């Protein structure tokens, strides 16, 4: 079955520290992979997406993600976190007719 | 502004009532998707329309229905509302059936009291 797993429900980092949010997927074919961010009370904003080609994908707000087929992973990274990055982050895989989302990782940033 | 417009932003209604949520997709997008986000269920896919036709159904209750009109806007109808239907309802749009890029609206927060 197609699924997305985000093993970390809640992550806390200090401002300026590096960040890695984990995402593992289960999908039979070559996946379309996405990371979205949701601020409190807001909609979902696309950070980046992977369809094919270079496995290191650059996104908005200084985020990047690396697709590793052998590990079925698509982890999100940022070298230096800002307080404004505090939000909920969702990894998703694009199936034939919908997006399948993980359960999300809530990021808290301490000054 | 993502280009996907959802109205209303907030809705408070009583149990047993019926409401209609509206979504206007981004210009040029033919596919519309509806998602429900609740604390216990996370983001759940409800239904997809492509150019006026229903293409896929997810975890949509029989009390819920949707349609996409010739101008491509979509409406999600929720009836016989229960407390558990309280959630954020998102609409997303994409150009193709299998969306290579999904754009989400800001959602409608439904509160059933």
Residue B2: its pLDDT value, please?
82
Q: Is A49 on the interface with B (CB under 8 A)?
A: yes
Confidence of residue A53 (pLDDT cuts 50, 70, 90): confident
Confidence of residue A95 (pLDDT cuts 50, 70, 90): confident
State the burial class of residue A70 (Cβ atoms within 10 Å of its Cβ: 0-12, 13-18, 19+).
Answer: exposed
Q: How confident is the model at residue A24 (pLDDT cuts 50, 70, 90)?
A: very high
* CB contact (8 A) between residue B100 and residue A32: yes
Q: Is the dihedral of CA A109, B90, B71, B93 positive or negative?
A: positive
List B18's β-bridge partners, or say none.
Answer: none
Distant-in-sequence, close-in-space partners of A38: CB < 8 Å, separation ≥ 6: A44, A45, A87, A88, A89, A90, A104
Residue A3, CA distances (Å) to A75, B15, B46, B100 in order: 15, 33, 16, 18
pLDDT (0 to 100) of residue A40: 84
Contact yes or no for B48 and A46 at CB 8 A: no
- Main-chain dihedrals φ then ψ at residue A9, nearest 5 degrees: -75, -40
Residues of B in contact with A103 (CB under 8 A): 42
Q: Which of residues 55-84 of A touch B (CB under 8 A)?
A: none
In a mutational test of the B interface, the residue from A33, A41, A43 whose CB has the highest number of chain B CBs within 10 Å is A43
Give contacts of A 87-106 with B, CB under 8 A: 90, 94-101, 103-104
The mean pLDDT value of chain A amounts to 93
- Measure CA A46 to chain center: 10
């Amino acid at each position: 079955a197609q699924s997305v797993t985000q093993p970390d429900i809640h992550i806390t980092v200090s401002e300026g520290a590096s960040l890695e949010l984990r995402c593992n997927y289960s999908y039979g074919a070559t996946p379309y992979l996405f990371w979205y961010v949701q601020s409190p009370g807001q909609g979902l904003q696309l950070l980046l997406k992977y369809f094919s080609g270079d496995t290191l994908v650059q996104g908005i707000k200084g985020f990047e993600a690396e697709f590793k087929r052998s590990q079925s992973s698509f982890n999100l990274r940022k070298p230096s976190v800002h307080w404004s990055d505090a939000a909920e982050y969702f990894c998703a895989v694009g199936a034939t007719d919908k997006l399948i989302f993980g359960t999300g990782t809530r990021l808290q940033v301490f000054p | 502004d993502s280009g996907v417009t959802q109205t209303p932003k907030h809705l408070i209604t009583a149990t047993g009532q019926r409401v209609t949520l509206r979504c206007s997709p981004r210009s040029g997008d033919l596919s519309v998707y509806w998602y429900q986000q609740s604390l216990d269920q996370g983001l759940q896919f409800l239904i997809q329309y492509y150019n006026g036709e229903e293409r896929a159904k997810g975890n949509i209750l029989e009390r819920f229905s949707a349609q996409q009109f010739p101008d491509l806007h979509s409406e999600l109808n929720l009836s016989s509302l229960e407390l558990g239907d309280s959630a954020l309802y998102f609409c997303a749009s994409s150009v193709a059936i299998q969306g290579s890029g999904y754009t989400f609206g800001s959602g409608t927060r439904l509160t059933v009291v």
